[in-house]
Amino acid sequence: MVAETKLYDALGVSPTANQDEIKKAYRKAALKHHPDKNKDNPSALEKFKEVSQAYEILSDPEKRKVYDQYGLDFLLRGGAEAPPSGGTAAGAGGMPSGFGPMPGGFGGMPGMGGGGTRSFHFSTSGGGGGGGFSFSNPENIFADFFKQGGAGMGDDDDVFAQFTSGGGGAGSGKGGGRSRFGESRAGRRRPPTPEVTTVEKPLAVTLEELYKGVHKKMKIKRKTYDDGDGKRKVEDKVLEMDIKPGYKAGTKIKFKGVGDQEEGGTQDLHFIVQEKPHEIYKREDDDIRIYVELDLKEALTGWTRTIPTIDGKKFTLSKGGPTGPGYTERYPHQGMPNSKKPTERGDMIVEVKVKFPTSLTPAQKTRLKEIL
């Protein structure tokens, strides 16, 4: 039987709870009441203090043993006085047989005078004489907990990252002074917060979509932390984006804070436009190029072709010949739109390729020599 259950009640566990149960209870309560998640709720700050300081004692086997036998007041005094009458079976000398002085130089606590019934109130600094226990800064208890593995929760160990993004959080602020928990910032600082990473993903788009513009929806999966128990979870998120007419390969469409939650914050996501290969067109900045293939006879004697445009129209192109390889004709304002000036378009370039025969008979050679 224990002397009192105030610390166990603060964590919502029974006095028979093992260390793993105590760790899990602290982890859940600390994540729920952390000031960075409850900036407009002063009661959450007090609750965060309570659960952090209760964990500090109950997670230490020696402190827990003294607390179970003699209660919090006795622990805070460091055994300088006997426990209140009617309490537990401690001798008038204070600490039981087998216990030496409590480690670390303990200081008393305001409002914890001897005798009578005592109310449970938390503080981060000792206000009484030397020799008693003084609570650590709750912020540091929280940080140390996750640095040491966060109750062995696997990939959830980096959950501390939710509260290290800086700016208004429990440990925010620059220079000296005191944190919201009363500890000097100059005395103990958090490690620098890593920058939020940016994830880049390709976005394949057809040339026709880049010509007309298109609205796209993309479903992504992102890792987050559950607000209730802080466990890692995967959720679906739908992103919507507009591909403007004239976008080029390499254009980035940026989304801020939509990726995985990680140390330092939530990832940014950039989609990078990739142009799908087209069966007949080749894009060159705002111009498009189309090739017309002729056999040697057509190149020499003349040819006619129907040429499609990117906007779905068609026109006829004829040449009487001869037409040499690499011959081009340019058609203004038949290319891709300019993304910054949508009313302006590039040109369409028609280029001729001549397919030469791979072999000729002696008679054909003789005939060609006569003709040419």
pLDDT along the chain (372 residues), means of 10: 88 90 89 82 87 90 88 74 46 40 38 39 43 76 72 43 44 44 46 70 94 92 81 89 94 91 82 94 95 93 93 92 91 94 92 92 89 82
Provide φ and ψ at 352, rounded to 5°. -95, 135
Q: Is 215 helix (H, G, I), strand (E, B) or coil?
A: strand
Q: Is 31 helix (H, G, I), strand (E, B) or coil?
A: helix
At 271 the pLDDT is 93
Question: Which residues touch 359 (CB under 8 Å, ≥6 apart)?
Answer: none
Q: How many CB atoms lie within 10 A of CB 40?
A: 5
Q: Where are the extended beta strands (E) located within the chain?
A: 198-205, 214-225, 232-243, 252-255, 261-262, 265-266, 268-275, 281-284, 287-295, 303-308, 314-319, 328-331, 348-355
At 178 the pLDDT is 46
At 307 the pLDDT is 94
Cβ atoms of 261 and 224 within 8 Å: the answer is yes
Would the pTM of this model clear 0.75, i.e. be above it? no
At 116 the pLDDT is 39
Q: Is 277 helix (H, G, I), strand (E, B) or coil?
A: coil
Task: Dump the DSSP string for 146-212.
Answer: HHTTTTT-GGGGGGGGGG-S-SSSTT---SSSB-TTS-BTTT--PPPPPPPPEEEEEEEE-HHHHHH
